[in-house]
Amino acid sequence: MENVAIARVLAEIGDLLEIRGDNPFKIRAYRNASQVLLDHPERVSGLAAADLRALPGVGKDIAGRVTELIQTGVSTFHQELAAEFPAGLLDVLRLQGVGPKTAALLFRELQVGSIDDLTRALDSGAVRDVRGMGAGKEAQLRKAIDDHQTFAGRHLASEVWKQAHVLLAHLAEGFPDATFDLVGSLRRGAETCGDLDVLATNAPVDVMAHLVGFGRVERVLGQGATKSSVRLVRGLQADLRLVPAISRGAALQYFTGSKAHNIELRDRALRQGLTLNEYGLYRLDDHASVAGETEAGIYEALGLPWIPPELREGRGELEAARTGHLPTLVERSDLRGDLHCHTTATDGKDSIRAMALAARDAGLTYLAITDHSQALAMANGLDEHRALAHAAVVRGIDDELDGITLLTGIECDIRADGTMDLADDCLAQLDVVVASVHSQLAQDGDRMTDRVLRALECPWVDILGHPTGRMLLRREPSGLDIEAVVTAAARLGVAMEINGQPHRRDLHDVHARWARDRGVRIVLSSDAHGVGGFDHLHWATFTARRAGLRPADILTCQALPDLRASLRRHRGAPA
């Protein structure tokens, strides 16, 4: 039995106990154990009972359930729990804002056992009549179902990336001479992916059997000689295509997409008397092959320069390529510094010094320490006094370090009324101020816009952090009028952030392009909360590339002296 399968049963026990209203410690214990087994490098089913018990988070009870599972293929405890509720109730529980109490109530009062049942109950008006529900809860549930439908089946790109690399290692281990390429939306640097697309060349058909034998495969959806699909853990589908080496370029092009880009490209081919598919570019009259081995060769035969995958969204890139207007996109290695990170002073996991060294290892030459301000009490946010004391510590550590310069700063909350969370006199003494909204994101659009516009008027605000507050697959952007904010930021010389946290990617690429076009300078930030967080700069870079940004559009591609001079506080009064 695979670790994945055992982990899934334990996680489900946790969910079912939660609906039943069982002991929270017990619920957490099952969930912890599930994660431990999922991450365990060797097969748990091969372990002796004592070794199983020795795993962190696996106590006597859970070890017993796991042993039963391994020996019999089922857990009677899981089956008993599952028999108490309809299977679809777990989907209801996973809706945003539906806790176990609500799920249990909906089941008991209205026999809701699935999302479809819930939709029907909402449509009939039955939900609002249940004691403890009401119109507010009704609206919340409707929104949760809407979101579920919008987000269903999509995965954060960073999650897909992690799984992709484990899969690639498995494939390469079996076929060291083959070439495996990641294609699809992941290669285009998209924010979320519907599935994981992998292309194989120089491999025998046996590669398909090897895919199916991968330890993280939960279900085989189809296995063929040129295409196979499997479902991996967490419901991620992976497609593997196999083409001959002479078609690698054509297949890279075709399976990278996007569909919109491919359709435009195929139209262009047709107008030149050519036909394009995943095997090559051919003349229509005599079917002679024109290109196919390399991707650049395909574009070249169509009279175009190679187009970076991040731009292949059908947003005018073919026209730009044809007329010689493709930008030279920013690369991760162009980034010279980072102006947004957190330390143990607030909600970060690592010290100032550790963050500085990690930034240096990540190839950066300067780093601003921007911990939270007091409004974020949960994060132990800094008041004026602590902010200035923290800045003094940062300066002291900066003096001791070579190869990286620390800047003092703050991520200052923008209060609900648009005033800044710290006094001007404090903000003025720091090297850089990022202003961000963290509370009352549900404010109506006009109020949110006024709030942010007012914050931008504060002369010490250099950067607007994660402007829309969205959380991919979890929370829609705020009602902010982004056009009004972009216009004000351009006028006042405030830079706007592309936050690289994989669930933020905020600004969104379309907005970032807009902002640049209207004269706003862009900052790429990690928003690292630990030494590993500088990896986020890769995601910020993907978004910037999708936005068509060049190094010259980005403040953090400047060396420190130029960066300092470019910050709003050093630019003097706006013209």
Q: Could you say which of ligand DGT, Zn ion, Ca ion, none residue 430 binds, taking C-beta under 5 to 8 angstroms by partner kind?
A: none
Give the DSSP H or E segment for 434.
Answer: strand 432-436
Nearest distance in Å: CB 276, ligand DGT? 8
Q: At what angle do helices 60-72 and 3-20 cross, to 10 degrees?
A: 130
Q: Could you say which of Zn ion, Ca ion, ligand DGT, none residue 474 binds, taking C-beta under 5 to 8 angstroms by partner kind?
A: none
Nearest distance in Å: CB 258, ligand DGT? 5
Binding site for ligand DGT (CB under 6 A): 184-185, 190, 193-195, 197, 254-255, 257-259, 262-263
Q: Which CB sits closer to Zn ion, 184 or 409? A: 409
- Dist. CA 470–CA 441, nearest whole Å: 9
Q: Could you say which of Zn ion, ligand DGT, Ca ion, none residue 258 binds, taking C-beta under 5 to 8 angstroms by partner kind?
A: ligand DGT
Give the DSSP H or E segment for 289.
Answer: strand 289-291
Q: Three-class SS of residue 179? A: strand
Q: Could you say which of Zn ion, Ca ion, ligand DGT, none residue 436 binds, taking C-beta under 5 to 8 angstroms by partner kind?
A: Zn ion
Does residue 239 touch Ca ion according to CB under 5 A?
yes
Q: What share of the chain is helix, strand, coil (3-state, %, to 5)?
A: 50, 15, 35
Per rule CB under 5 A, count of chain residues that contact Zn ion: 1
Please list every residue from 420 through 449 that binds Zn ion, using CB under 5 A.
436
Tokens representing 67 are 């042993």
Nearest distance in Å: CB 220, Ca ion? 15
Q: Three-class SS of residue 533? A: helix
Is the bond into 258 cis (omega within 30 degrees of 0)? yes
- Dist. CA 511–CA 490, nearest whole Å: 13
Q: Could you say which of Zn ion, ligand DGT, Ca ion, none residue 88 binds, taking C-beta under 5 to 8 angstroms by partner kind?
A: none
Q: Could you say which of Ca ion, ligand DGT, Zn ion, none residue 262 binds, taking C-beta under 5 to 8 angstroms by partner kind?
A: ligand DGT
- Dist. CA 94–CA 52, nearest whole Å: 30
Q: Could you say which of ligand DGT, Zn ion, Ca ion, none residue 263 binds, taking C-beta under 5 to 8 angstroms by partner kind?
A: ligand DGT
Per the CB < 8 A criterion, the answer to whether 394 and 406 are in contact is yes
In this chain, which residue has its C-beta nearest to ligand DGT?
A: 257
Stretch that binds Ca ion, among 7-15, 46-54, 173-181, 195-203 (CB under 5 A): 195-203
Q: Could you say which of ligand DGT, Ca ion, Zn ion, none residue 259 binds, taking C-beta under 5 to 8 angstroms by partner kind?
A: ligand DGT
Binding mask 137-176 for Ca ion (x = CB under 5 A): ----------------------------------------
Per the CB < 8 A criterion, the answer to whether 2 and 24 are in contact is no
Q: Could you say which of Zn ion, Ca ion, ligand DGT, none residue 228 binds, taking C-beta under 5 to 8 angstroms by partner kind?
A: none
Q: Which CB sits closer to ligand DGT, 253 or 468? A: 253
Q: Which CB sits closer to ligand DGT, 193 or 537? A: 193
Nearest distance in Å: CB 259, ligand DGT? 5
70-to-6, 49, 63, 74 alpha-carbon distances in Å: 8, 11, 10, 8
Does residue 313 touch Ca ion according to CB under 5 A?
no
Per the CB < 8 A criterion, the answer to whether 190 and 159 are in contact is no
Q: Which CB sits closer to Ca ion, 19 or 472? A: 472
16-to-8, 100, 133, 288, 545 alpha-carbon distances in Å: 12, 9, 22, 61, 44
Q: Which CB sits closer to ligand DGT, 263 or 389? A: 263
Per the CB < 8 A criterion, the answer to whether 376 and 465 are in contact is no
Residue of the chain from 18, 117, 138, 197 that contacts Ca ion (CB under 5 A): 197
Nearest distance in Å: CB 237, ligand DGT? 9
Nearest distance in Å: CB 152, ligand DGT? 12
As a whole number of Å, the end-to-end CA separation of the chain is 69
Q: Which CB sits closer to Zn ion, 3 or 436? A: 436
Taking residue 493's Cβ as centre, other Cβ atoms within 10 Å add up to 23
Binding mask 174-193 for Ca ion (x = CB under 5 A): ----------xx--------
Q: Which CB sits closer to ligand DGT, 256 or 343? A: 256
Is the bond into 242 cis (omega within 30 degrees of 0)? no
Q: Which CB sits closer to ligand DGT, 182 or 355? A: 182
Per the CB < 8 A criterion, the answer to whether 308 and 317 are in contact is no
Q: Which CB sits closer to Ca ion, 167 or 367? A: 167
Q: Could you say which of Zn ion, ligand DGT, Ca ion, none residue 295 binds, taking C-beta under 5 to 8 angstroms by partner kind?
A: none
At residue 500, what are phi and psi to the nearest 5 degrees?
-90, 0
Comparing CA positions, the residue from 438, 365, 369 lying closest to residue 409 is 369
Nearest distance in Å: CB 281, ligand DGT? 13
Q: Could you say which of Zn ion, ligand DGT, Ca ion, none residue 257 binds, taking C-beta under 5 to 8 angstroms by partner kind?
A: ligand DGT
DSSP state of 279: T
Comparing CA positions, the residue from 526, 347, 375 lying closest to residue 440 is 375
Per the CB < 8 A criterion, the answer to whether 186 and 157 are in contact is yes
Annotate 198-263 with DSSP letters as a single string. EEEES--THHHHHHHT-TTEEEEEEE-SSEEEEEEGGG-EEEEEE--GGGHHHHHHHHH--HHHHH
In this chain, which residue has its C-beta nearest to Zn ion?
A: 436
Q: Which CB sits closer to ligand DGT, 16 or 265? A: 265
Does residue 257 touch Ca ion according to CB under 5 A?
no
Q: Which CB sits closer to ligand DGT, 253 or 556? A: 253
Q: Which CB sits closer to Zn ion, 201 or 436? A: 436
Q: Which residues bind Zn ion (CB under 5 A)?
A: 436
Q: Which residues bind Ca ion (CB under 5 A)?
A: 184-185, 195, 197, 239
